[in-house]
Structure 1
């Protein structure tokens, strides 16, 4: 691996090795919030469909030092990351990260916890790995998005592996050359198609990316070599996972890039702006696809303001960016996984109950007659504009002919409309309530309430064990 600073791999490896561990207090606060949020969704997620099917298999692949959430058996770091990453994304209640168009924390946190158990790290080590891994994930995301995502790649599986490799390389203390190799290797472990949405394989993508990041960093530490142009070369990620027209697309984005998505690799001032501060994370208010959230926020805002119920409504029209609506492909969902990607089901449910909660996505909830009766009232219009160019519009037409309307540019939980620390803690407690089989609730709450940087990580991972 060369030291050419114009090479993204070399520049990112140098930054991972050399950047001081001196983060602003707000950056550390956001990282702690992300840790709390991810642990919150992992606990009930461990019993969800995909992890429940995965555990009998992965538990036979050998033991190791890393904790698997809600399980008595510890696993090798890659296998713990695989299980915990799948659990973190199973309910689709984990955060979103705009530069990468990915579920960042569901990949980063499980990977870093697995490496932390291996290395007997501190909580501060995990926070440092999170901030640095998120930065590299975001920078690579900005070089391939929005078209990487809009052309059907599930960026949680692709860019997640790269961010996890970077964060794990940082936690392992790899030098510049080996950190760059870790990122390079991760491109060979990156994958996932949006055609898997609504199936068990969608959350498995997060687990595979977390495991891939762990493997890539450990492969690099073991001395394996890797290509120097796997990000920006003629046969690198940018060309292969965007398309041969990538340069034309980059020119098209000039002057109108959102979330810093310039379609080009930045190799200068890699740590500025710091993505955890500049972009933040979208913490989810609802346990379903993030493309639903602006629509749900708008409907619930109108319902609360005007007091209508389902019997008062003739129809609801959602006008939203086409990229959002294309993610919501299940118009007649038959499973909880499909329901999380259904505008019709989720909006009808919110119209009936005035909320959208974990209980709406239980197997016994999907066929509720009172919700199914409302689904034909939900209409949609695809708007071929970027999400930053067009806020989601919700128009509720009542039976008396009156139309109530609102527009939502950013969802609750985003940087623009942040979820408070108290709201995040309430989400944590609600998630733990949904996991009655979890016996270490009080121990876990104590650790999450005191995430001191010097505290051994094992205090946290031990509280996650069965």
Structure 2
């Protein structure tokens, strides 16, 4: 058929970027992509035994189907779409994966599982896999930034929505779609993409990543089979943007700067096992605690000035479960001041929500919305019982050197998987784009099959 999509529409732009074989990938962007693949695989394998992963694993293994792709915790391969769903869910099960603040979402857990599933199904090389992944997360960040804060603030979880567009872009590239077919795939994803922030603190939140990855595989595969959708469905009247709180979009030219500048390089990694919205405050409180040798008993009152948008996201006042604790700024702040290791998965339990020393300290933490504070920042003030006023400002957007991030991610993976496994995984990912399919997918399958053992 002849496409009637506008040459400058967001759907067409995303489609053309997704399948552009002349697209250049800067070395620095590929380096960051490898870090994110490493981090995602580590948290996915560690999340294999989480209840949400177990439930989705039982679902997809019960359905069976053609052996196309490896899935976390399963000895046999399953259909690519099902593998993407399970692997995306497991990767987000611990809420310990990377975040991008161009759109406030988790790009890698939505895109990488889709790319892995289609790449294994197609027996793509490691180079093609890595480039498809980087293309997909870049589309996620660019489209997510175009949808903007109005979309997020309307109640939509961008990991699930923008993530679905990136997952579709990565799958379209691996399936060798042309720009017209890719636009139909993205148009179908616009109808399929969904995910609500009201699910934060429940198993539905990590499932959002699995939904996005599965949507990407499904949409691109159907487009490859000739499926026709509206090729401007993201931006058209009555399309995704206007029906999902984004209006006309928030960036005039969301793909400006490519290929010289990839927005994904600004991705943020988690070093606390909880919602990324809490991290600026936790870093500020940790710094104050270390600098002034504070104990919980020294604290009279704490004020945390944060971006207002975080109030409905990570400010559960009285969490009752370990999962809810990950979205409670007051409780996680109390944990830091009390010396609890917020990088440890074991710290987030139902018991921590009932600990009287933590709940008492949490009640002394005031959360103050301040429109002047950016999404990635917090200004923390601690009033001590001796009358001293201590303050610290932290902004996570301050760039960190590659070596610093790599060292921290290796330590994080070591804590999750054990040092030997973390080192082996690092070696595997570091060489990813040099591996042929025959060397790549058997090793990936072994990693995944043993995850829930």
Q: Tell whether the structures are fold-level matches, with TM greater than 0.5.
A: yes
Relative to 1, partners in 2 of residues 1:315 and 1:24: Cα closer, same or farther, differing over 3 Å? same
2:446 equivalent to 1:451: no
Matched-pair contact (CA < 8 Å) for 2:24–2:259: no
Q: Deviations over 1:198-226 (max 9, x none)?
A: 00101111100110011011011111001
2:327 equivalent to 1:345: no
Gaps of 5+ in 2: none
Pick from 164, 167, 171 the counterpart of residue 168 of structure 1: 171
The structure with the greater share of residues assigned to helix is 2
Alignment map for 1:59-458 (pairs within 5 Å): 59-63=61-65, 64-242=67-245, 246-247=247-248, 262-264=250-252, 266=254, 271-277=259-265, 280-353=266-339, 355-357=341-343, 358-385=345-372, 387=374, 391-410=377-396, 415=399, 419-433=404-418, 444-456=425-437, 457-458=440-441
Matched-pair contact (CA < 8 Å) for 1:300–1:354: no
Matched-pair contact (CA < 8 Å) for 2:182–2:223: yes
Number of residue pairs matched? 442
Gaps of 5+ in 1: 251-261
Q: Name the CA distance, whole Å, in 2 between partners of 1:366 and 1:116.
A: 42
2:450 equivalent to 1:462: no
Q: Name the CA distance, whole Å, in 1 between partners of 2:425 and 2:198.
A: 36
Compute the TM-score of the two structures, normalised by the length of structure 1: 0.89
Shift of 1:442: 7.1
1:32 corresponds to which residue? 34
Shift of 1:454: 3.1
Shift of 1:237: 1.3
Shift of 1:426: 1.0
Matched-pair contact (CA < 8 Å) for 1:152–1:195: yes
RMSD over aligned Cα atoms = 2.3
Q: Name the CA distance, whole Å, in 2 between partners of 1:71 and 1:444.
A: 19
Matched-pair contact (CA < 8 Å) for 1:12–1:270: no
Q: Name the CA distance, whole Å, in 2 between partners of 1:102 and 1:193.
A: 12
Q: Name the CA distance, whole Å, in 1 between partners of 2:258 and 2:29.
A: 16
Q: Deviations over 1:213-244 (max 9, x none)?
A: 1101101111100102201111111111125x
SS at match of 2:49: coil
2:59 equivalent to 1:57: yes
Matched-pair contact (CA < 8 Å) for 2:144–2:162: yes
Compute the TM-score of the two structures, normalised by the length of structure 2: 0.91
Relative to 1, partners in 2 of residues 1:363 and 1:121: Cα closer, same or farther, differing over 3 Å? farther
Shift of 1:266: 3.8
Shift of 1:376: 1.3
SS at match of 2:311: helix
Matched-pair contact (CA < 8 Å) for 1:444–1:460: no
SS at match of 1:102: coil
Matched-pair contact (CA < 8 Å) for 1:152–1:193: yes
Shift of 1:464: 2.2
Q: Name the CA distance, whole Å, in 2 between partners of 1:450 and 1:14.
A: 28
